[in-house]
Structure 1
Amino acid sequence: MKQEPNHKKIYPRTNDFNTVYLKNVITSSNIIVDDFTMYNDFNNDPKDFEKKNVLYHYPYVNNDKLIIGKYCSIACGAKFIFNSANHTLKSLSTYPFPIFGEEWDDAMNVCEAWDNKGDIVIGNDVWIGFEAVIMSGVHIGDGAIIGTRALVTKDVPPYAIVGGIPAQIIRIRFEDSIIEDLLKIQWWNWSTEKISEKLTAIRSGDIVVLKE
């Protein structure tokens, strides 16, 4: 008998300990992951995502967030690089003097050592490929695909496929009318029961049935 989807467990598949539902292993309140988004890691324990994949993240200083929607697929080694990695370009020097205030001037604000570009926001049904790197401030639209080892430095529109260093749009996955329908339908917000009912249409690309 087929089991109903369960987004509250850690491991989606029996005896597969390389894949986790991220929401259920995150502890930081500044990393917000929605239902069914999964991370696979065959090099490290995927439960260590927060420590090994979310880098230069000091929310108690910046209050910056990583926000990931529903039904995303994140491949092994994908990295999210936060604001504290961005040595400021406003200064005549890239050296982060404010970080070492006790050596130079303890009146400096540590946040002035970097340029704060804001949160990283990942939409729903996004696929992030092997060892891709997402930089601070980037917003990735619903349904986008991030290619293997892509370096994403700017926003990615919904249903775009991007790749390269820096990442550029390779193509858009569907016609504009289909993208408009998908963004309107937002199937990822349906109940698991309704998704199960429409799963064949989702997998086969039958937008007509999905709209019924």
Structure 2
Amino acid sequence: MSAHPLPRRFPAPDTRNPVLLPDGTPHEPTVFLQAVIEHPNIAVGRYAYYSPLSPVPDAAAELAPYLYPGCPERLVIGPFAQIAHRVRFITASANHPMGGLTTYPFRIFDMESVGPYLDENATIGDTVVGPDVWLGFNAMVMPGVTIGAGAIVAAGSVVAADVPPYAIVAGNPARFVRSRFPAEAVEALLALAWWDWPIEAIRAALPALEAADAEALARVAP
């Protein structure tokens, strides 16, 4: 028998507070985002979680404060994403108009005339966080950025450009530090896409996942 058996339970992806403390009480700040976000411009994958230091009344407004229903862009958060305290997504609609002689947003004070701003923001596109991405404490993601699967964004980073899968980035602006794995392992992991497997298959594959063994993971793929 393994010295470290699998947990006896794994919460459903729509569980509000999935972490139980040793005394059995839920850790209230940590939430599965599927349970707490209902926003027409935000898509959340299963088991993606947010863990601020204290509970927040509106996770969507906390994470993406400038994203409103009817904006031309979306925020897409992939499955198994891990989002720390004070992470912010500055989506396209936070932008001021930049095509003219002034950046003052005159038209937001008369929303019937705001169409040109919406058109400009629509060209920036969605902000996308891939599966199994870890966003560290106080990271900020700028408009239209795509963060690839398995990437790590260091605490305090400002991500202003796309991040490759399984890259580690840090700083302001965030710069490539290194890849977590060799290129051939990254290709294999992207092909396996373990985050799409049934949860029991993922749990059974934890020894391979935790050992960073892509070949072993391939052998237990469902």
TM norm. shorter chain > 0.5 = yes
Match in the other structure for 1:37: 48
Unaligned residue ranges in structure 1 (runs of 5+): none
String of CA shifts for 1:141-175, please: whole Å, max 9, x gaps.
Answer: 00001111111111111001111111111111110
* Structure 1 residues 122-137: aligned runs within 5 Å: 122-137=129-144
Q: Alpha-carbon deviations, 1:62-114, whole Å to 9, x = none?
A: 33111111111100010011222211221111111222349xxx756352696
SS in 2 for 1:196: helix
Q: Counterpart of 2:78?
A: 69
Identity between Structure 1 and Structure 2 (%): 38
Asked if the contact 1:25/1:47 (under 8 Å) is kept, the reply is no
Q: Match for residue 150 of structure 1?
A: 157
Alignment match of 1:21 (pick from 19, 22, 32): 32
Relative to 1, partners in 2 of residues 1:47 and 1:204: Cα closer, same or farther, differing over 3 Å?
A: farther
CA contact (8 A) 1:19 1:46 kept: no
Task: Tell me the SS of whatever aligns to 1:171.
Answer: strand
Q: Runs of at least 4 residues of structure 1 off by over 3 A?
A: 106-110, 112-116
Deviates more, 1:142-151 or 1:80-89: 80-89
Report the number of matched residues: 207
* C-alpha contact (below 8 Å) 1:83/1:115 kept by paired residues: yes
1:180 Cα deviation (Å)?
0.4
The alpha-carbon distance between structure 1 residues 139 and 108, as it changes in their structure 2 partners (threshold 3 A), is closer
TM-score, normalization: structure 2? 0.87
Provide closer, same or farther for how the CA distance between residues 47 and 20 of structure 1 changes in structure 2, counting only shifts above 3 A.
farther
Gaps of 5+ in 2: 1-6, 21-25
Greater shift in the superposed pair: 91-100 or 106-115? 106-115
Letter aligned with residue 210 of structure 1: L
Question: 1:7 — aligned with what?
Answer: 13
User: What TM-score, normalized to structure 1?
Assistant: 0.90
Residue 102 (structure 2) aligned to one of 80, 93, 101? 93
Q: What is the CA–CA distance in structure 2 between the aligned matches of 1:188 and 1:161, rounded to whole Å?
A: 19
**Structure-to-structure mapping, 1:186-197, within 5 angstroms:** 186-197=193-204
How far the C-alpha of 1:47 sits from its partner, in A, is 5.0
Cα shift readout 1:15-61 (whole Å, capped 9, x = no counterpart): 2112000111001121110111110011x42452112221211231x
Q: Determine which of 133, 146, 150 is the counterpart of 1:139.
A: 146
Q: Kindly report the root-mean-square deviation, in angstroms, between the aligned alpha carbons of the 2 structures.
A: 1.9
Q: Is the 8 A contact 1:85 1:114 kept in 2?
A: no
Hey, what does 2:170 align to over in structure 1? 163
The amino acid that maps onto 2:42 is: I
CA distance in 2: counterparts of 1:133 and 1:191, whole angstroms: 31
